[in-house]
Amino acid sequence: MLELSWRSVWRFFLVLIFILALWYFRELIFLILVSFVVASLLEIPINFLELKLKNRWLATFLVYFFVMAAIIALISVALPIIWDSFNTFSKNFNFNFNLSTWPEIFQNLEETNFPLSDLFSASSVDFLNLFKRSVAVVTKISGGAMYLFFVFLLAFFLNTEQQGVARGIRLLAPKEYENYAIYLWEKTRRKVGSWFGSQCLISLFVSLMVLVASLLLGLPGAGFLALAAGLLDFLPYLGPFLSGILITLFGLTQSFSLGIVALLIFLGIQALENVIAPFLRSRAMKLNPLIIILALLFGGKVGGAAGIIVSLPLGAALIDFLKDLRSGQINSYLPQKKLL
């Protein structure tokens, strides 16, 4: 007969509560992890500037100021170009939304004895649905902007201190495991740097391919499209989706067939990238390509864009942890040779 002690029952419920808490606060956890990744990536230029300026806070401020100024400048340049392309697209396909023609439309409806009350009652539901969707989109964009702001804010304060990320890990990790957590993070940080280098090569490849394709097709703003595709490629799934919309829109400004051809060529470029990228990342991070693909899929399913960003560092840390656990190396970082 199986007997359970109260201690075993309490342990089971504590583990269950811990898992539920992780799931409930997953957005906050992903925000902290993304901040750690950003702080780790920017730590190299900050350390370089600190040697020149002899001031950690000033070096951190200058690096973050440059990054934010670059993002704002890119957005400021991109928006007018996209807006002009959309106007050209709407003119080519006769999408005219001129409010001055509305009185004539209502006058024609009255002449045909069409009851306007029925029109309003029929369209009121569609209008409310459109309004709700518009509010949801605006809210999501605002929420994403605030999320990005807090990521950079937390990463900034982590970088203002020497070994700020390591101190943050010591604050979050249990005391008996903090030395191993620092060791594991250092290994993961090097792999994050390797991932960043491989991603730069992949983005350069996508940018060059889009530039060549745009020039051959005669798309307007070929240089802008190539730059946008390369930068957006740093955002898994979402970035290529936005790049595809831009390239298709620029093609449609010329003709419908050119827009379809541009989209098909971009899909071909993405298919080629999806074949090359996992192997390049696996060589850089020393991980199996299958693990990288599964980590990206799982991270996107659980945490969306933030989950995708932290999926590779977490996957690399998990693999290193399992290796250290199997080899027994983890015991050298634990007090009194305690086992997990």
Residue 29: the pLDDT is 79
* Domain identity same for 40 and 165: yes
303: burial class by Cβ within 10 Å (0-12, 13-18, 19+)?
Answer: buried
Asked whether residue 162 carries a pLDDT value surpassing 80, the answer given is: no
* Domain identity same for 144 and 205: no
Q: What pLDDT digit, counting tens, does each position of 125-148 carry?
A: 555 565 556 555 555 656 667 777
Domain edge (last residue) among 154, 172, 190:
172
Q: Return the residue matching tokens 């992903």.
A: 30
In a domain, 6, yes or no: no
Higher-confidence residue of 269 and 237: namely 269
Residue 3: the pLDDT is 55
Residue 252 — pLDDT band, cuts 50, 70, 90?
confident
Instruction: Work out the average pLDDT over 227-233.
Output: 87
- Token pair in block for residue 102: 């509305």
Residue 340: the pLDDT is 46
Distances in whole angstroms, Cα of residue 9 to Cα of each of 13, 53, 340? 6, 57, 20
- Token pair in block for residue 150: 């807090």
φ/ψ of residue 152, rounded to 5: -70, -35
Question: Of the spans 20-29, 129-138, 272-281, which averages the highest pLDDT?
Answer: 272-281
Q: What pLDDT digit, counting tens, does each position of 201-224 carry?
A: 999 999 999 999 999 988 888 888
Q: What is the 3-state secondary structure (H, E, C) of 193-253?
A: HHHHHHHHHHHHHHHHHHHHHHHHHCCCCHHHHHHHHHHHCCCCCHHHHHHHHHHHHHHHC
Domain edge (last residue) among 137, 172, 207:
172
The domain tally of the chain equals 2
* Domain identity same for 237 and 300: yes
Provide the 8-state DSSP code for 282.
Answer: H
* Domain identity same for 191 and 129: no
In a domain, 4, yes or no: no
Instruction: Work out the average pLDDT over 183-202.
Output: 82
* Domain identity same for 179 and 314: yes
For every residue of 167-198, DSSP letters joined together read HHHHHHS-GGGHHHHHHHHHHHHHHHHHHHHH
Who's near 248: CB < 8 A, 6+ residues apart? 259, 260, 262, 263, 266
**CA 69: distance to chain centroid?**
19
Higher-confidence residue of 169 and 255: namely 255
* Domain identity same for 276 and 146: no
Lowest model confidence (mean pLDDT) among 14-18, 20-24, 97-101, 322-326: 97-101
- The C-alpha atoms of residue 246 and residue 168 are separated, in whole angstroms, by 40
Whole-number mean pLDDT of the chain? 76
Q: What pLDDT digit, counting tens, does each position of 47-88 carry?
A: 888 888 888 889 899 998 998 888 888 888 777 877 777 777
* Domain identity same for 204 and 303: yes
* Domain identity same for 196 and 314: yes
Higher-confidence residue of 227 and 86: namely 227
* Domain identity same for 137 and 236: no
Q: What pLDDT digit, counting tens, does each position of 88-126 carry?
A: 777 766 655 444 444 554 455 445 454 544 444 444 555
Asked whether residue 333 carries a pLDDT value surpassing 80, the answer given is: no
Domain ranges, residue 195: 174-340
Q: What pLDDT digit, counting tens, does each position of 312-327 carry?
A: 788 888 888 888 888 7
- The C-alpha atoms of residue 307 and residue 97 are separated, in whole angstroms, by 40
Residue 212: the pLDDT is 92
- Token pair in block for residue 108: 């024609």
Residue 246: the pLDDT is 87
Distances in whole angstroms, Cα of residue 114 to Cα of each of 100, 108, 119? 21, 9, 8
